[in-house]
Amino acid sequence: MARSKPNKKSEQIKFNAELTEAEWIVMKVIWENEPCTAGTVQEALANSKDWAYSTIKTTMDRMVNKGFLEIQKIRNLQLFSSAISEVDAKRGEFRKMLQRAFDGALTPMMQFLIEHEGLSKAESAQLRKLVNKAKNRKD
């Protein structure tokens, strides 16, 4: 009851985070290496992204402003950590898609998957297994 009322907007952000393309790429590295510096992120991405240091740093600074990352300062080093969880980010991305393309309804999306995304026999078997497991969870 007496829980200090959290900012509605920021909760919204936390639980339904919407990252941009570049932010997703950076975020994945953060989740695997946090806390880490911008330089570390650059190195981690060296193979896949030919980004200048400042590109990465700017992106990360913006993410701090948006509340996606947090900075912990040591000397003149900035160690970045995630301020949102992987689950929240995934949920945000998933729900945005669901809202836009399926008006927020899950079942039509499933229908679509099966009808148009050609679930292979293996995949649907897998799915079936998952679903059965889900059967024994909360309702």
Q: Which residues bind a copy of itself (CB under 8 A)?
A: 19, 21, 24, 87, 89-91, 93-94, 96-97, 100-102, 106-107, 109-114, 116-128, 130-135, 137-139
Dihedral of CA 26/30/35/36: which sign?
negative
Choices 49-57, 91-99, 110-118, 120-128 (CB under 7 A): range interacting with DNA:
49-57
Burial label for 63, CB within 10 Å (0-12, 13-18, 19+), is buried
54 forms part of the interface with DNA (CB under 7 A):
yes
Partnered with residue 73 across adjacent β-strands are: 78
51 forms part of the interface with DNA (CB under 7 A):
yes
Maximum pairwise Cα distance, the chain: 56
Q: In terms of CB distance, is 78 or 83 closer to a copy of itself?
A: 83
Q: Please, what is the minimum distance in Å from the beta carbon of residue 7 to a copy of itself? A: 23
Cα dihedral: 96, 126, 31, 84 (round 10)? 40
Kindly write out the interface string for residues 59-88 of this chain, putting x where it contacts DNA by CB under 7 A and - elsewhere.
x-xx------------xxxx----------
Q: Please, what is the minimum distance in Å from the beta carbon of residue 122 to a copy of itself? A: 8
d(CA 70, CA 55): 18
**Cβ(64)–Cβ(71) under 8 Å?**
yes
| Residues near DNA (CB under 7 A) | 20-23, 37-39, 50-55, 57-59, 61-62, 75-78
